[in-house]
């Protein structure tokens, strides 16, 4: 039985020379003396007992070893052990036997070897201990524990025989490490990320000829595309040639030029006659259009005449609509008469020259009225006065209105620029129901008016500021309340 080691065990170093079959490294051994070592002799001086060098011990161990013990074995193992012990030992056959009979663990105890036996059996054990290192049989120079040798030979020995899994060429371990990463048979993914796996040796050919991501130049527009998008580009490339969709004889043209070809040149495309808007219905290939135009000159001319007639009507309608928009429906007309002096000169030279105002209405659906003026007077005021009149014109809603017209009418001629309020001349009347002028008017344009032949004298007109900047303002106010406001 192995006793507790704490008291008796010493870890000792074996010099390499004592283990002839293991020439490279030091070993350690756990010595478990079964019996305490013998005490030093009593005649030994006390001073010298503390020295324990090997020379000392050799000089002191003068008695030669017993002849029946093989000196090479015992002395080689035991003497160095004894020399290191903290106390003096005098080898003798009895103690040597005792030491060699000590129970020891394998020197690879810490690595996991469970072997334990007498010291004399250690050497034999080490010859088979699976944790003991032996030289690599490939002579790579490594000392490898037996238990690791299979792995070493298979995977780490630099002189192992190794076959490249890709090209099946045999290498040494070192050679394979250098070969890895350069093997031309190793499959690898294309660097252009096309997704292809290609052996290294064919990669440059792949990238130049097969890779879907290699750059290719469009032969029509010279822009560069990856090979897998070039065909899609071809379907839209503005410079790629396409035939005319009308199958004219122009031949293939760049896609970008197609629109202008169809618009301006294509002989096969049906085009409408240039008089289409005037009503010509001809439509045919461009090369027939000229002949059509030549042989249809008079027809086209009639179409144009009819068109211009229609346009004239439209213009009239538009003018009426415009006039309506600017029509006065308030029942009060403020009539601004410009170029007064020229109009006065003209009136004096032409007998009965009448100036008429724009028509106005008493309300949106009311009576249509018009004021008129004789600058040189008429009737009793001729040559001395300005005469003013109002007439009822035929209106759109006359059928619904009350007749005769009975609203009061007030004419006011304003003085201009006067301080303290608007001065001027004003005259009013309320139509008498018996007066013919205010019956429902016929469609005759020369309806009679009613008003004041001597409205304002030329003398007053010149004296007071009625004319300013050659302009005169006359207000005509029509009021249904019949109250005469002067
Ligand atoms: Zn062992
Ligand atoms: Zn090796
Ligand atoms: Zn290879
Ligand atoms: Zn690729
Ligand atoms: Zn292109
Ligand atoms: Zn064409
Ligand atoms: Zn035509």
Distance of CA 149 from the midpoint of ligand 2 (Å): 8
Does 305 share its domain with 337?
no
Tens of pLDDT along 5-33?
333 333 333 333 333 344 434 444 444 44
Does 281 share its domain with 302?
yes
Distance of CA 244 from the midpoint of ligand 5 (Å): 19
Does any domain span residue 52? no
Does any domain span residue 465? yes
Does 298 share its domain with 436?
no
Does 344 share its domain with 278?
no
Distance of CA 226 from the midpoint of ligand 5 (Å): 12
The angle at the Cα of 66, spanning 63 to 71, to the nearest 5 degrees, equals 95
Does any domain span residue 394? yes
User: Of 176-180, 337-341, 405-409, 460-464, which one has max mean pLDDT?
Assistant: 337-341
Does 366 share its domain with 286?
no
Contacts (Cβ under 8 Å, ≥6 apart) of 140: 157, 158, 159
Does any domain span residue 119? no
Residues of the chain above pLDDT 90, percent: 49
Does 388 share its domain with 445?
yes
Taking the model in full, what pTM does it have?
Answer: 0.40
Does any domain span residue 304? yes
Question: Of 293, 310, 326, which residue constitutes the final position of a domain?
Answer: 326
Does any domain span residue 215? no
Does 342 share its domain with 275?
no
Ligand having the closest approach to the CA of 297:
7
For the cut 50, the answer to whether the pLDDT of residue 75 exceeds it is: no
Distance of CA 74 from the midpoint of ligand 2 (Å): 34
What is the predicted pLDDT for the residue at 70?
40
The mean per-residue pLDDT over the stretch 294-301 comes to 94
112, burial (CB in 10 Å: exposed 0-12, middle 13-18, buried 19+): exposed
Does any domain span residue 392? yes
Does 451 share its domain with 318?
no
CATH number of the structural domain spanning residue 429: 2.60.210.10
What is the predicted pLDDT for the residue at 53?
38
Give how many domains the chain has, as a whole number: 2
Does 308 share its domain with 319?
yes
Ligand having the closest approach to the CA of 223:
5
Does any domain span residue 170? no
Does 405 share its domain with 434?
yes
Does 275 share its domain with 290?
yes
| Residue range(s) defining the domain that contains residue 293 | 269-326
The least confident of 64-73, 326-335, 452-461 is: 64-73
Does 358 share its domain with 345?
yes
**Closest among 144, 142, 140 to 173, alpha carbons compared:** 140
Ligand having the closest approach to the CA of 244:
6
Q: Are 484 and 408 in contact (CB under 8 A)?
A: yes
pLDDT, averaged across the chain: 80
């Amino acid at each position: 039985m192995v006793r507790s080691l704490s008291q008796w065990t010493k870890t000792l170093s074996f010099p390499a020379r004592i283990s002839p079959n293991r020439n490279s490294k030091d070993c350690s051994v756990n010595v478990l003396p079964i019996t305490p070592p013998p005490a030093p002799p009593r005649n030994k001086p006390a001073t010298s007992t503390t020295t324990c060098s090997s020379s000392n011990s050799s000089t002191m161990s003068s008695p030669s070893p017993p002849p029946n013990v093989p000196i090479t074995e015992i002395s080689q193992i035991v003497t160095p052990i004894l020399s290191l012990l903290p106390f003096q030992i005098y080898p003798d056959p009895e103690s040597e036997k005792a030491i060699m009979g000590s129970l020891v663990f394998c020197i690879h105890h810490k690595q996991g070897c469970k072997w334990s036996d007498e010291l004399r059996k250690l050497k034999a054990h080490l010859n088979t201990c699976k944790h003991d290192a032996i030289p690599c049989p490939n002579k790579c120079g490594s000392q490898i524990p037996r238990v690791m040798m299979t792995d070493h030979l298979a995977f780490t020995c630099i002189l192992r025989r190794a076959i490249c899994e890709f090209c099946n060429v045999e290498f040494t371990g070192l050679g394979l490490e250098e070969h890895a990463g350069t093997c031309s048979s190793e499959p690898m993914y294309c660097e252009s990320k096309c997704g292809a796996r290609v052996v290294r040796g064919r990669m440059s050919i792949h990238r130049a000829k097969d890779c879907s991501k290699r750059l290719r130049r469009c032969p029509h527009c010279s822009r560069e595309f990856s090979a897998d998008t070039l065909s899609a580009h071809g379907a839209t490339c503005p410079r790629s040639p396409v035939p005319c969709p009308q199958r004219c004889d122009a031949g293939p043209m760049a896609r970008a030029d197609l629109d202008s070809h169809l618009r301006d040149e294509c002989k096969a495309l049906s085009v409408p006659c240039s008089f289409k808007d005037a009503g010509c219905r001809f439509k045919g290939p461009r090369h027939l259009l000229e002949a059509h135009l030549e042989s249809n000159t008079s027809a086209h001319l009639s179409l144009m005449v009819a068109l211009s007639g229609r346009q004239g009507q439209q213009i009239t309608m538009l003018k009426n609509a415009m006039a309506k928009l600017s029509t006065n429906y308030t029942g009060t007309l403020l009539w601004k008469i410009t170029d007064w002096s020229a109009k006065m000169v003209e009136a004096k030279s032409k007998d009965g020259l009448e100036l008429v105002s724009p028509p106005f209405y008493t309300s949106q659906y009311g009576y249509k009225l018009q004021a008129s003026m004789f600058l040189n007077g008429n009737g009793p005021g001729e040559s001395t006065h300005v005469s003013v009149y109002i007439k009822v014109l035929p209106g759109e809603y006359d059928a619904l209105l009350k007749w005769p017209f009975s609203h009061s009418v007030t004419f006011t001629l304003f003085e201009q620029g006067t301080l303290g309020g608007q001065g001027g001349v004003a005259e009013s009347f309320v139509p008498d129901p018996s007066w013919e002028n205010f019956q429902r008017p016929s469609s005759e344009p020369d309806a009679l008016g009613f008003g004041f032949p001597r409205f304002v004298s030329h003398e007053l007109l010149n004296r007071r500021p009625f004319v300013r900047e050659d302009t005169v303002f006359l207000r005509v106010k029509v009021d249904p309340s019949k109250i005469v406001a002067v």
